[in-house]
Chain A
Amino acid sequence: MHPSKSGRIGLYLYGVLILAFLYLPLVAIGFASVSTARYLSFPIRQYTTQWYAQALESDTVSDLLWISLQVATIVTIVSMVLGFFGALAFARYQWRFRRLYQKLILLPIFFPQSVLGLALLMWFNAIGITPTWHTAIIAHLVWIAPIATLIIAIRAYSFDPALEEAARDMGCSTWQTLREVTIPLLMPGVVSAGLFSFLLSWGNFPLSLFTTGADLTLPEWLYAKMVSGYSPLVPTVGMLSVAASIVLVALALTVPLLINRFTRKSSD
């Protein structure tokens, strides 16, 4: 279908407005991070990269990045593994209470995160665990692993179960079927689930706030700094965090292609 000329202009305008709405705040942060002024005001009188230099040298910032990275990485790996097997259990096997279990698993996603965070903190206290960034991993998983499962399950539901049966029929053991058919076919789902898991954990504030104890993740520190003691380091670290996310997305998009090319060459 081809829209009329006025319709087309309308659509373009709509698209541009959406993009502006999404990206203008980010652009503003970008400007703030390169301004010498303490508070952002236009026009910017003098540009500087001093905040970036300061951020990269700062031990606090590197500690923050390191903790956030550890939490997000572990959450990602665990979510991918749990999500993979969970999705298979839902899509491939018939068992009692399957549907009920499927719904119960997804329930934490609908909890307000701050309530969930508080509940988890009380739970950790009750069983005598001192909250650190380790407990934050568990808190993140409660919220993120179901999402990862959901993403992989969509993929698992969409592929023909006859593919696995055919593999078995042609002599594959359970493990060979998994390796030759199931894993390669679910891989796109697993990669997107991993990507989502990482980004959701990396940017999570409400769960971390309650469950990291004395440790600080990046979003927590940014919030604390904005509430008291704002400096242009806040937009700078924010921009660094965005940059890290972009690098990750780029990696996630290119690595499978590279792996694909590599394995195809080696099998030739």
Chain B
Amino acid sequence: MNIAAPVRLPDGKADLSNFSDTSRLTHMNVNAPPILRVVDLKKTFDSFTALDSVNLTVADGEFLAIVGPSGSGKTTLIRLLVGMEEQTSGEIWLRDRRIDDVPANRRPTCMVFQSLALFPHRTVGQNIEFPLKIRGVDPAARRARALELLDLVRLPQHYYDKRIQQCSGGERQRVALARALAFDPEILFFDEPLSALDFRLRKMLEKELKDLHQRTGKTFIYITHSLEEAMVMSDRIAIMRSGRFEQLGPAEEIYAKPKSRFVAEFMGEVNLFRANGNGKSVSFEHVTVDPVAAAKSGLKPGFQGYMMARPESVRLLKPGEGADVTAKGLVESEYLLGSRVQYLVQLDSGYKATVELSRENRVTWEPGLKMGIGFDLDRTHLIQEA
């Protein structure tokens, strides 16, 4: 287990009275045995391989986000994990119990669906109580728990008798969440539940979800195609591509040190410069690299791959200014992003580089502005790729 994310303590103001199990107060117990272990999981539909040998270990109390473009296999993976689909081969272990042959209704996991799947013929309260009713809990206890959960997801108590149709999109999210928590699953799965909401509400619920994760101490596994969502909420991010994990690690690591060009480009805007080493020296496309700095940085002469520089690592060079890596160009356009400013620079080689500066460093831009770009090697990351 290598989890680089810090062990966080819960927010001191958080209301923990609903959770008797205080051993879960530490956000994640890295030394404890993993709650979920997936071994060589494969799923094929006829001739199509949806999932190609996935291996995964999740710590108790972790918030894991699985991110990938549509068709990358993330939905198939989550459906296998909750038992709605049967794997072609491989194993799923929940703590020390193998669960891949246990049907969905007997797995101690629960999922919040993309469509939320709230029962339209039941009230908010009846929806939340549903898993308890199925378990045979008596009506009074059910009701008490539902009211507690309404509190936890910040819905007023009188919502208990409301119809689902009377709730707004954000309220429905909370009801779905409360229902899943009523089930009290070992692992709570999310299948892009926020994707249908507008931007502001989504941002708010992302933060609430993260907060709720810390307060409940549950293990959350969240799939999304939005990287931003994953970065805001999760401890670790798994990037999926054609049925495999391309990279798995803390958000910061995936952002700063992507293992492949795919991950680098998936994780937001990036400048990539092809590097070809012939064994004696390395030549870069589009940019000039200072040989002294290159030698000092320990760049191997046989390196084949890409040099990556995030837009915020790149500067616009004033005349006379220098950097380890430079290129001349024409500043094509300027975009104001609020606290930051972005420039699109057409380099002399034709490559379009993106530069992002804080607002204080904004330059006086006009069409046809000639300015070079520059950045230092310690702000770059090398991606080995043939």
Contacts and interface: CB of A to CB of B under 8 A. Distances in A.
Interface string B102-115: 01111001110111
A185 B105 contact: no
Which residue, A162, A167, A171, has most C-beta atoms of chain B within 10 A? A171
Contact of B105 (A162, A172, A267): A172
A171 B135 contact: yes
B134 A180 contact: yes
Contact of A176 (B82, B134, B179): B134
B74 to A, nearest CB: 16
B110 A162 contact: no
A165 B85 CA distance: 11
Contacts of A98: none
A160 B117 CA distance: 7
A163 B117 contact: yes
Given A162-B113, A165-B84, A176-B134, A170 B183 contact: yes
A170 B126 contact: no
Interface residues of A, number: 18
B104 A168 contact: yes
B131 interface: yes
B134 to A, nearest CB: 5
B139 interface: yes
B115 A171 contact: no
Contacts of B111: 166, 169
B200 interface: no
Given A168-B105, A169-B111, A170-B110, A184 B121 contact: yes
Chain A binding site: helix, strand, loop or mixed by DSSP?
A: helix
A165 B139 contact: no
Nearest to A174: B105
A181 interface: yes
Given A180-B134, A185-B121, A267-B139, A169 B84 contact: yes
Interface in A140-165: 160, 162-163, 165
Nearest to B176: A166
B105 A171 contact: yes
B130 interface: yes
A173 interface: yes
B379 to A, nearest CB: 46
B105 A169 contact: yes
B319 interface: no
A146 B105 CA distance: 33
Given A170-B131, A267-B126, A165 B113 contact: yes
Given A169-B104, A170-B134, A171-B183, A185 B110 contact: no
B266 interface: no
Contacts of A184: 121
Contacts of B83: 169
Contacts of B104: 165, 168-169
A160 B111 CA distance: 15
Interface string B4-27: 000000000000000000000000
A160 B106 CA distance: 22
Contacts of A176: 134
Interface string A35-53: 0000000000000000000
Contacts of B110: 169-170
A63 B275 CA distance: 96
User: Which of A168, A170, A185 is most buried by chain B, counting CB atoms within 10 A of its CB?
Assistant: A170
Contacts of A180: 130, 134
A262 to B, nearest CB: 15
Contacts of A185: 120-121
A169 B110 CA distance: 6
B281 to A, nearest CB: 58
A259 to B, nearest CB: 12
A176 B134 CA distance: 8
Interface in B107-144: 109-111, 113-115, 117, 119-121, 126, 130-131, 134-135, 139
B139 A171 contact: no
Given A160-B117, A166-B117, A173 B105 contact: yes
Interface pairs A-B: 10 shortest CB-CB: A166-B117, A162-B117, A170-B131, A171-B134, A162-B113, A184-B121, A168-B105, A162-B115, A168-B104, A163-B117
10 contacts: A162-B114, A162-B117, A168-B84, A169-B82, A169-B83, A169-B104, A169-B109, A170-B105, A171-B105, A185-B120
